[in-house]
A = this chain, B = another copy of it.
Amino acid sequence: MAFLDQSYLLPDGVAREIYESIQGLPILDAHNHCDVKALSEDRKFENFWEAEAATDHYVWECLRKCGVDEALLTGKEASDKEKFLAFAANFELVAGNPTYEWIHLDLKRRLGIDLEINAENAEAIWSQCEAKFAQDDMSQQNLIKAMNVEAMCSTDDPADTLEYHQALQNSQLKNTVFPTFRPDKAMNIGKPEWNAYIDSLGKRWNTSIETIDQLFDVLGQAHAFFASLGCRASDHGVNVPYAQQFPKGIAEKVFAKARAGEKVDYTDRVIFMSYFLNEVAELDAQRGWVFQLHIGAVRDVRTSLYETLGPDVGGDLCDHNTDILTPILPLLNRFDNRLKVVLYNMNPIHNATLAQLTRVFGNKVSLGLAWWLNDSYIGMKRQLEYAASVDLLSNMAGMVSDSRKILSYGSRHEVFRRTLSNVLSGMVGLGQMSKATALKLARRLAYDRPKELFGF
């Protein structure tokens, strides 16, 4: 077997047969970080670095581990080509990490370049990519088409005017790209930038937000506006998923204190966040949306990165001790049987707690695929095998790329579909289910289930 060939991640004939049955299905990608503006402009990438690395902190993290200087990663001085050459010279040291596979898959499947990335091949890859990216079929919208993306959801702020989503309705991607309602900035009452954000959110909706009722009036308007553009889910990034039941009066006081510029403490934040998540869940329940929680990210722990580059640059991780069960139970019970919920975890240690939680709460509460640093072959395989044994595979939410790179959607879903085929063929091989049943489950997780859950 050779690197990334047709048998990639498929150890036997049954695995290959399962994969062949699902590889052609359209992609449904219910959560990613698409640059919708760039997509709506349908512009092309100029080179490999811009397409693959300029916006991807996974690449920066891996190259930092190889000792590549920050100037050649996020620096403003170095050219894309200089950065690419440093990348290529070091990339073999990244082998074993999924970033190594994803990028080679992009190169092979999307760009048709079958070379291993290293110093020797660097110039050839650079120039072949430049030529390839200049082709018309490599515009961003054409890439989405070529990857057979039937539906995808970006991640958007309630203050967003969504004009690029509107523009896409007049493009070849009509009815393909939907926003997701992600009001984290409004929820994160402890952050220094919160007050300014609330101001700007008010302005966006031509009002001022002085009370908690006004906040949820505005969020309700935004929710309706998002719905008009096909939004079908909210999404919330949390470390501990505080979602307890507090009376509005208590949350109101915290809100007033924060708006007055007073310091809010940890308890205040727990109160406000809990109230906030419950209110958004109520909106979602009324509209039949999916309420997604991304649980367990501890952000910006590396001060040197945060101070020079800001958030989302590789300073995030997760902790094993994160409390999940106690804080989230009140919300799950309050909305029991009337809200679709998907729970994603970042630390594989929490696979058991989450799979058992989604098992207990029945049909409407689903386990999301292994998230972030967990969505490698090994991370997904271990999660799928375990989740199948506790919860039901058939009730899981399906794959989301979570990617910031358009070029990567196809590769991410390919790795998932191959991993799923691998896991199911393992079960067939051990006599745990028939091949016919495995084929049905494969199709369900790859396509039918996200279609049903998100209403694509």
Interface residues, chain A, CB within 8 Å of chain B? 1-5, 7-11, 61-62, 64-67, 92-98, 100-101, 116, 298, 301-304, 314-321, 323-326, 329, 332-333, 336-337, 347-350, 352-353, 356-357, 359-363, 373, 376-379, 385-386, 388-395, 424, 427-434, 437-438, 440-441
Residues of chain B lying within 8 A (CB to CB) of residue A362: 64-65, 302
Closest 8 CB pairs of A and B: A96-B388, A317-B356, A376-B389, A8-B431, A93-B394, A64-B362, A95-B433, A96-B393
* CB<8 Å pairs between A and B, sample of 24: A1-B431, A3-B433, A3-B437, A4-B432, A9-B431, A61-B360, A65-B392, A65-B395, A93-B395, A95-B427, A95-B437, A96-B389, A96-B393, A97-B389, A100-B433, A301-B360, A302-B333, A303-B333, A317-B360, A318-B353, A320-B320, A320-B324, A373-B390, A378-B389
Contacts of A3 in B (CB 8 A): 431-434, 437
B363 pairs with A389, CB closer than 8 A = no
- Give A303's nearest chain B residue, CB to CB: B333
Contact A391 B337 (CB under 8 A): no
Q: Which of B2, B93, B353, B378 contacts A434 (CB 8 A)?
A: B2
Q: Nearest Cβ distance between residue A31 and chain B, in whole angstroms?
A: 20
In the assembled complex, the Cα of A363 lies from the Cα of B347 at a distance in Å of 22
- Which of B9, B64, B429 makes the CB contact (< 8 A) with A1? B429
What B residues does A321 contact at CB under 8 A?
321, 323, 325
Decide: A430 and B65 in contact? CB cutoff 8 A.
no
Of all chain B residues, the one with the shortest Cβ separation from A318 is: B356
CB-based contact A96/B373 at 8 Å: no
CB of A394 within 8 A of CB of B94, answer: yes
The verdict on A430 contacting B11 (CB below 8 Å), with A302-B361, A304-B336 known, is: yes
- By a CB distance below 8 angstroms, the chain B residues around A428 are 1
Chain B residue at smallest Cβ distance from A357: B317
Residues B98 and A353 in contact, CB atoms below 8 Å apart: no
Q: Which residue of B lies closest to A364 (CB)?
A: B67
Whole-angstrom CA separation of A97 from B10 in the bound complex: 22
Given contacts A8-B430, A318-B353, 10 further A-B contacts (CB under 8 A): A2-B434, A9-B431, A10-B430, A62-B392, A301-B329, A319-B326, A348-B352, A352-B373, A373-B390, A377-B430
